[in-house]
């Protein structure tokens, strides 16, 4: 079932089918969540009603709720908190996106105008806070203190990761260790707690809860690495954002950082000078893309994503016997990796 390390020209074509097959057992539950999610959010103001209606009409893939629901299926949990806690996964993630778009002053997400672009920064931040608060209420209803504590830690970590990233904007000398700390904080920490929370609800022991968390953490790292690689390789429609968004915003990702191991001193000096500018023109961006292509650092980034995906799956295999539920979780993990192949 493991994907090959080499680029597979057919893998991307089959990724959507692979993803659909992975979530087939929970597809109906995900569709029910799409219907129910807006009802979880208090919408007393016209602004919140309009934003919620617009935001949830976009219909993303619900990857994080899917990971939670498949983890619950692996453990046999079907209790009353199944759907609300799946909603928590999406609400916390969505709240972070609303705040990130304000910080980045992003006009678009998934090729559609952002909330901050349509309604202003103040409304975007406040609705993000509304989502966080709603998620906290839903967590509290489980009466599982560990869930509340773990999510609180993850949200704090996400904020710390955002601050760490801001401190290193346009810093070409950023250490790889710092870069991976940002990835862990901003993306992997939340996916880790999402998967662990299934074990908490199912009253499983530390071994299985830790295995689910390690699965989520490694999968989160792989997921973000694929995104970072695609930022230099994919069509804008594939990502729902403009190509080279991170580069133009001064965010240094692995395809760029790996140039320091391969490019010449002159090339690296030119890259550093380009990154140091507030506005990066098309000619300058094309120069950096050319180096990334020449030295195959995007492919090297996908190699690392593949390793993290293997580590994620291995965590499951060590803690859980083979079953259809475990295989669906593995298939979902590999489908997320295959976006880059």
pLDDT at position 12 is 54
> What pLDDT does residue 43 have?
81
pLDDT tops 80 at residue 3: no
Identify the helix (H) or strand (E) that includes residue 108: strand 108-109
Given a cut of 60, is residue 272 above it in pLDDT?
A: yes
Q: How far apart are CA 142 and CA 64, in angstroms?
A: 19
> Residue 257: is its pLDDT beyond 50?
yes
Find which of 183-187, 233-237, 244-248 is predicted with most confidence, using mean pLDDT.
183-187
What per-residue confidence (pLDDT) applies to 71?
Answer: 98
pLDDT score recorded for residue 249: 87
CA 62 to chain centre: 11
H/E run at residue 109: strand 108-109
- The whole-angstrom separation of Cα 241 and Cα 90 is 20
- Reading the block at residue 57, the tokens are 């009409």
pLDDT value, residue 6: 38
Instruction: Work out the average pLDDT over 216-234.
Output: 91
Of all residues in the chain, what percent carry a pLDDT higher than 90? 72
Q: Could you give all domains of the chain from N- to C-terminal order, each with its CATH number?
A: 11-158+173-340 (1.10.600.10)
Region 98-118: mean pLDDT is: 84
Mean pLDDT of 184-199: 97
Q: Provide the whole-model pTM.
A: 0.92
Quick one: pLDDT at residue 241? Answer: 43
1 pLDDT above the threshold of 50: no
Q: How far apart are the first and last CA of the chain?
A: 15
Examine the pLDDT at 4 and tell me if it is beyond 80.
no
């Amino acid at each position: 079932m493991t994907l090959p390390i080499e680029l597979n020209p057919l893998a991307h074509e089959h990724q959507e089918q692979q993803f659909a097959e992975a979530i087939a057992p929970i597809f109906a539950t995900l569709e029910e969540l799409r219907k129910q999610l807006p009802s979880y959010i208090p919408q007393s103001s016209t602004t919140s009603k309009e934003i919620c209606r617009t935001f949830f009409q976009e219909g993303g893939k619900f990857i994080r709720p899917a990971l939670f629901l498949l983890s619950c299926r692996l453990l046999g949990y079907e209790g009353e908190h199944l759907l609300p806690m799946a909603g928590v996964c999406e609400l916390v993630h969505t709240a972070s996106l609303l705040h990130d778009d304000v910080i980045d002053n992003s006009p678009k997400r998934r090729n559609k105008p952002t909330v901050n672009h349509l309604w202003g920064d103040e409304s975007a931040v406040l609705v993000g806070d509304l989502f966080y608060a709603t998620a906290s209420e839903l967590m509290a209803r489980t009466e599982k203190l560990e869930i509340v504590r773990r999510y609180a830690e993850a949200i704090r970590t996400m904020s710390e990761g955002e601050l760490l990233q801001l401190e290193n904007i346009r810093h070409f000398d950023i250490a790889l260790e710092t870069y991976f700390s940002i990835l862990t904080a901003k993306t992997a920490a939340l996916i880790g707690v999402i998967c662990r929370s299934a074990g908490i609800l199912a009253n499983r022991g530390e071994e299985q809860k830790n295995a689910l968390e390690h699965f989520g953490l490694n999968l989160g790292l792989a997921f973000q690495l694929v995104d970072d690689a695609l930022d230099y390789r994919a069509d804008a429609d594939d990502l729902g954002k403009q190509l080279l968004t991170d580069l133009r915003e001064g965010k240094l990702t692995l395809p760029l950082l790996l140039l320091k191991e391969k490019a010449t001193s002159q090339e690296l000096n030119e890259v550093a000078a380009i990154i140091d500018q507030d506005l990066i023109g098309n000619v300058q961006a094309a120069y950096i893309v050319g180096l990334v292509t020449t030295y195959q650092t995007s492919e090297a980034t996908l190699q690392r994503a593949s390793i993290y995906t293997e580590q994620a799956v291995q965590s499951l295999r060590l803690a859980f016997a083979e079953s259809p539920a475990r295989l669906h979780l593995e298939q979902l993990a590999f489908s997320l990796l295959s976006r880059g192949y």
